[in-house]
Amino acid sequence: MMLKKLLLTACLFCLSGVVLYAQEQPLGSNSFGSINLSHPGLKNVAKAMAKNDYEKAATQLLAYFRKSKAALSPGQTTQKVNPNTQQLADDILLHKFKPHKGYGTFDYGKDINWQFRPVKDQLLSTFLHRTTFWESLGTVYLATGDERYAKEWVFEVQDWISKNKQGAYADDKDYAWKAFVVSFRLNNWATFFNQFINSPNFTPKFLLAFLNAYNEQANYVMANYTDMGNHRLYEAEHLLLAGTSFPEFNQANTWRKSGITVLNAEITKQVYPDGVHFELSPSYHIGTISTFLRALKMAKDAGIASDFPQSYRNLVEKMCTAVPKFSFPDYTFPLYGNSFITNKTQMMKNYQAWAEVFPENSEIAYFATGGKSGAQPAYLSSALNNAGFYAFRNGWNQKATVMQIKAGPPAEFHSHPDNGNFVLWVKGRNFTPDAGSFIYANVGNQENSKRDWYRSTKAHQTLTLDDKTIENNAKLIKWQPVGDVQVLSYSNPGYKGLNHQRTFLFIDQSYFIIIDKASGALTGKLGIHYVLTEDAKAGVDKNNLQFNTTYADGNNLSIQVLNKTGINLKEEESFVSYEYQKEAARPAFVFEQEKLTGKPGTFVSLVMPYTGTNAPKAWLKENAGNNFETGKIDLTLTINGKEKTIKQQL
C-alpha cells in the first residue's frame, strides 16, 4: 500500500512538472513593466534590461529578492511540524484541499478544478480562492527542506493563474475575483513568496509570472473596493500591505496611499463614537481592531505612520476599551451577529497586542495581564449607547452576575434582527448563550435554511409576533445604571403596526425583572423566547409558567412569567453554534399570549439566579399606582416570602 501511494505521488509530480514548464511564458520587456527599475537595489536588473537580456534581468531580480530580510530558507526554523499540518501539506500534494476549517478535505482533481464547489456554501469557495490553505506547504517546507512542497506550491500558483483569468467564469466576481477575496490573496501570497523564494523550484520565469499576477490583483482591488463594511477595511489593509511588502512595484506608493486614505475615511464611518464597530458583531469588532492596528504598524515600519492622524489612534483605543464592557469575567462575549466563541488565552493575546500600542491605558493593561497590573475598570454596569450594547454587572471576578443586552440601531452584514436579546452569565456559567450563526452564506440566490434559522428573531431571547422576524431600530427610554433598582428601557418598532417596549430591572444587583409591552394595531400570537445552555436539564412547571435549571453544583437559574392570565408556556426547538458548521440542541421555551385588537400585550418575567436545588417561589402584585401603558411601575414582588417594592417612572 505504501509503495502504491509513493508511485501515485511520483506520477503526479511528473505530470505537475510537465504542466508547470508548459505554463512558463517566454520573457520580454513587458514582463518587467510593473517593476520600478530605479528602485534601490535593482541596478543590475536595469543594466540587463538595457541590453535586452531578459533572462539575466530575471535572474538578477530573483537574486535581489533572495537577499531581502524577509526571505526565508529551510533550516532557519527549529519548529517541529505538528501531525495535522503535515497531513494537510501531504494532502495538498494530491490536490486534496481544506480551504475552510468548518469543513473536511475535498479532492479538487488531478487536473485541479478551481470551480469545484463540493458543498452549498459559497464561503467554502471564496476561501478556496483566498488560497490560505497553502500555508501548510510553507510551514512544512521551511521545517523539512523537502522540495516536493515548494515544487507543488509553484505548480499550483501557476495553475491557479492560468485557469482563473479575469472574466474566465460568469460568476468570478463572486468568487476568484471578488475584491475582498483578491485582497486576501495579496496578503497570503506576500507570505508564501518569502517562504519559497529560496527554493530552486522558484525560477526567474516563475518570479515574473508571480509578480505580474500580484500586480494585476493589487490594481484590481484598488479599482474595485467594496462599497462599505468590514470587507472594505480588509481590502484597504491588504492593499497597504501589498505596497509595503513590494515597494519595487511602480504602483506600490499608490497602493499604500489608497489603503491609508480608505482606512482614515472608513474608521469614522464604521466605528461609532462609543467605539463599537457598526456591524454590531463582537467577533468582527475585535477583528476590525486588528485590521486598524496592523495598518498602523505597517505604516510605522514603512516610515509613514504620520499618514494616520492622532484621531485614528484615539478611536482605535476606544474600540479596545469597549471590549470589556460587552464581555464576561472569563473574557468571552455574547455571540451577537456572526460571532464565534473565543477564550481567555486568545483574548489576553489580543489585549497584550493592544497594550503594546496603548501602554498608558491602565484598563487594557489590567486585562492584558489577567489583573496583575493596570487598573480594574471603575464602572460596573455600563452602556455603549451608540451601538445599543448594555451590561448590568455586580463585579468583575468569576463570582459576578453579568447580563449583556443588545438593543441598538439598524445594522447590516453580520448583525442579526434581535433587539432585546440578552445573555446572562452567573458565577462562571453562561446560562443563556446567544445562538451564534452556524453558517452565514447562501449560494447565490439559493437560501440556506440553517442560516435563516440562526438569523431569525425566534432564535434569540426577545419578543416575536407569529414567530416572524423583526427589524432593529431601538430608541432608548431610560438608562439608570446605579442603585438597588437599575433600569434599562427601550422601544423597538419591530413590525409595522407593532411596537415593542422592553424594560430590564436589575434588582439588588442580584436578579432581574423583564417587562415586555407590545402595542399597536397588529394582532396575532405574541411570544417571548428564552433559551438555556446545551448542557442544562430543565425542570418545567407549565401550570406555574416556570422553568429552571437543575445543575448539581447549586448554581442555577429560574425563569417564570408572573402575570399569568392568558399566557401559556411551551417548549420549542433551539440550537447553539459556537463554531462554524457545528451546533448542539439545547432547551428553549416560549411564553405565548394572543394579541387582541387595540389592546397591548404584556409579559412580566422574573429571571432569577439562585443557589441550591429548590427553585424560588415568587408572586407579583400590581399596586394601585401601577400602569404599564403609561410607564409607571409600582409592583410588590414576593420571593420565598420576602417582599420587595419596586417603583419606577419610565
- Which residues are part of the catalytic machinery? 284
- CA-CA distances (angstroms) from residue 144 to 76, 86, 133, 193? 10, 10, 18, 17
Residues 462/418, Cβ–Cβ less than 8 Å: yes
How far, in Å, CA of 298 to CA of 307, rounded?
11
Q: 499 - beta bridge partners? A: 519
Helix (H, G, I), strand (E, B) or coil at 426: strand
Which residues, at least 6 apart from 89, have a Cβ–Cβ distance to it below 8 Å? 81, 136, 137, 139, 140, 149
Residues 244/302, Cβ–Cβ less than 8 Å: yes
Q: Which residue's C-alpha cell is 499618514?
A: 307
Which residues, at least 6 apart from 218, have a Cβ–Cβ distance to it below 8 Å? 186, 239, 242, 243, 249, 251, 255
Q: What is the largest CA-CA distance in the chain?
A: 99
* Sign of the alpha-carbon dihedral angle for 219, 225, 230, 236: positive
How far, in Å, CA of 243 to CA of 235, rounded?
12
Instruction: Extract the C-alpha cell encoding 604.
Output: 412580566
Count of beta carbons in the 10 Å neighbourhood of residue 92: 22
How far, in Å, CA of 134 to CA of 144, rounded?
16
How far, in Å, CA of 222 to CA of 234, rounded?
12
18-135-244 Cα angle (round to 5):
100
Phi, psi of 510 (to 5 degrees): -135, -45
